Homo-oligomer: A and B are copies of this chain.
């Protein structure tokens, strides 16, 4: 497994593979890898002849009051996991490599970014789309793999690729969960034992709401119920509990196929997000 730190070296590393028609797959990550990331890696390994995983904690997708400094970093452990999972190249650029002096470009997706996390984390998705378009330019993948846990991010990246005509296939991979239903996230490491016990209420509450949805149910009331249920379970604050269209992420008035429940809530200092497709819930 090769470890690469510069854009030039990265580009050179994929060039021969591309020229030989080898399919290149990229799994962009911020490190602190868990089984959710490894599901992406395994799928990339199935699909692609050359698998690149990027490790980059991107400062521009964190707001000033967010957890950039404390975000978990453990490169040695990440590299070990990636090696064991058959990754060919790890791309771990420095911030100076990604954002040299005078850097001044932003790639923005409108529409899809307006609600949910976009409303709560101004500039977050601009940071994501900008860094992802740079990672794409460095790694030149044929396919890139994103987890559905960050479902809005997945949709936003799909839109960016479509609108900038990047000819990269974006593959979304279902959420990987703990036995008790908590979605895997690098931020779960922030939770203490007490909070960890409360956290599965996220998925339980979403599924309870999703299971109850049918033609004549008032969505607004269900979301209010979900929000109250989370607070009752011990969450300190609920950023949103919403039901939206899975494709457009638009708010919906009435129940119909193709909906998804989205939630973001705080356990003390830790913000957790999750989502579930209504149609998948029995």
Residue numbers of A with Cβ under 8 A of B are 7, 11, 102-112, 129, 133-134, 137-138, 159-160, 163-167, 248
Contact = CB atoms under 8 A, between A and B. Distances in A.
A7 B129 CA distance: 22
The dominant DSSP class at the A interface is mixed
A127 to B, nearest CB: 13
Contacts of A106: 107-108, 110
Nearest to A110: B104
Given A104-B159, A105-B160, A159-B105, A137 B110 contact: no
Given A102-B111, A102-B248, A105-B164, 7 more contacts: A11-B167, A105-B107, A105-B109, A107-B107, A133-B164, A137-B166, A137-B167
A5 to B, nearest CB: 15
What is the copy number of this chain in the assembly?
2
A137 to B, nearest CB: 4
Most buried by B among A11, A104, A112, A164: A104
A91 B134 CA distance: 26
Contacts of A110: 104-106
A95 B169 CA distance: 24
A163 B105 contact: yes
A88 B15 CA distance: 27
A133 B137 CA distance: 12
A165 B104 contact: no
12 contacts: A11-B167, A104-B110, A104-B112, A104-B159, A104-B163, A105-B107, A105-B110, A105-B163, A106-B108, A107-B164, A137-B167, A138-B165
A103 B137 contact: no
Nearest to A114: B104
A177 to B, nearest CB: 31
A118 B107 CA distance: 18
A24 to B, nearest CB: 16
Nearest to A10: B165
Contacts of A109: 104-105
A103 B111 CA distance: 9
B108 A137 contact: no
Most buried by B among A11, A112, A165: A165
A104 B106 CA distance: 14
A160 B137 CA distance: 12
A167 B134 CA distance: 11
